[in-house]
Structure 1
């Protein structure tokens, strides 16, 4: 079972609706065949969908709409997954090509989808990794550099739910020196209590830590990787949910003061899947 977002004073309905809900994903006609090769028994249904983790995207958007008490958005997102896919289909210019989609839903339940050509990408990355080294071999741009932010980020509804209100992520990216979306660098955010939250555009995974107060959980799990619980303030992530559902990782609080410079990590999101990263503690300090 996964943790819930932290109980925060701003968890009531938000009256300001100048923001919209958002989810980004990859559409790829080769995804179903790749899933049958690399993840036949460990990829969520529907296996024949060209939309990456589509059910998780719909669920995430629905959770956000419910949290913000946007009744019209909830009504739009509640129909069966097939109806949601049919809506997205109307925005795809050419179903024989790969696309990067940015789904945006406002308080009135209106859905817009920004569609851009997807860059060439090893589809093996879209599925649970077998090892850090195998993942690193899939692209010349791997591993990425994961740089810890220089200041903490306060958890809020806008760190728990993905929306167009992303100033806190943009600020973190600027502080660690990311100047372009093509940079193979990610910012690592932490909260006011010194707990790791997430990356600016990814969720994060670290090798399992061992603490006495976690001994019982560790005895019941053989997962090699851990990811911060939602109670630390990070976002509900589709790829993180995929990894948790299939036992690739478990949740554990990860403190900044226990991070190790140069350690091997993983990062993931709904557009690129899973990527290897090396933790760099020196750049922003």
Structure 2
């Protein structure tokens, strides 16, 4: 493995450019055949490990940031990535004696120059295994209660580019969209859908969206320019959804939209129509979002 690893994130690290991935550590996953299949066919406590390794290999070749002569980020092989993550879990347990949570959220950053670092903020809520590996999506949420999550449309379009295609330290577009939607932290059960100047759904701010269109579940096509998430890849490979163009004009107030990410798995929310102005944000809001940009960046999955 090139570079070196540390178990924390320094202020100096925060100023450096990096690609990253967030992954769920869940003790139950070791016994999951589906997770084994998504982790290089080896039992693993990390959610879809192989897909995270692939994400890092692809993202490190983006040119948006890494234009100098320093070595590009390098996560090594899947076995190296697994060892780095296991070291992070071991250190967390050493720092929290007596605690044995079922699941933890681990963020791994790969910096220009080869260094990697990890960060674990807090334990995660338990979710059923069916939420990590669903067999299908349903249009009507199960049970009598409405889904906890609310989903809204962004107030202005986002121009696709490497900043939306790769998960890097630049999350400005996503932070702006979350701020404009009133989402100030990661714990709020609310998502905002970003869209392109051509009026197509681009991505969610922290989740991949899936919408029911013409008889099947559709996620934004890779050609639109959004992030190619790990759970998105699994959903496509297992026939839960297909790629396609989704116009914002097709959104219906109250419709069920499924979401997924590599920390929470798969879950659904209800789209809430709103009629905000789509012109540029006010100067005051832009200043406020800039002030809170660091907070937004830390809260993104």
Q: TM-score range by the shorter chain?
A: 0.7 to 0.9
Secondary structure of 1:152's match? Answer: coil
How far apart in 2 are the matches of 1:120 and 1:141? 19
User: What is the TM-score normalised by the length of structure 2?
Assistant: 0.75
Secondary structure of 1:242's match? Answer: helix
Which residue of the other structure, out of 141, 149, 162, is the alignment partner of 1:144? 149
Q: Which residue of 1 aligns with 2:86?
A: 89
Secondary structure of 1:188's match? Answer: strand
| 1:132 maps to 2:124 | no
Q: Could you tell me whether the CA contact under 8 Å between 2:260 and 2:267 is conserved in 1? A: yes
Residue 137 of structure 1: CA displacement? 4.9
Which residue of the other structure, out of 81, 104, 108, is the alignment partner of 2:109? 104
Distance 1:237 1:280, change over 3 A: same
Q: Which residue of 2 aligns with 1:80?
A: 77
Secondary structure of 1:243's match? Answer: helix
Residue 120 of structure 1: CA displacement? 1.7
Secondary structure of 1:63's match? Answer: helix
| 1:51 maps to 2:56 | no
RMSD across aligned positions (CA): 2.6
How far apart in 1 are the matches of 2:183 and 2:245? 26
How far apart in 1 are the matches of 2:271 and 2:238? 25
How far apart in 1 are the matches of 2:16 and 2:276? 33
Distance 1:178 1:129, change over 3 A: farther
Distance 1:167 1:136, change over 3 A: farther
User: What is the TM-score normalised by the length of structure 1?
Assistant: 0.79
Q: Cα deviation per residue 1:159-184 (whole Å; 9 max; x = unaligned)?
A: 00001111111110111121232211
Q: Could you tell me whether the CA contact under 8 Å between 1:32 and 1:48 is conserved in 2? A: yes
Distance 1:41 1:184, change over 3 A: same
Distance 1:80 1:263, change over 3 A: same
Which residue of the other structure, out of 193, 197, 207, is the alignment partner of 2:212? 207
Q: How many residues align?
A: 250
| 1:193 maps to 2:198 | yes
Gap regions ≥5 residues in structure 1:
1-16, 211-223
Q: Greater RCO between the two (CA within 8 Å, min separation 6)?
A: 1
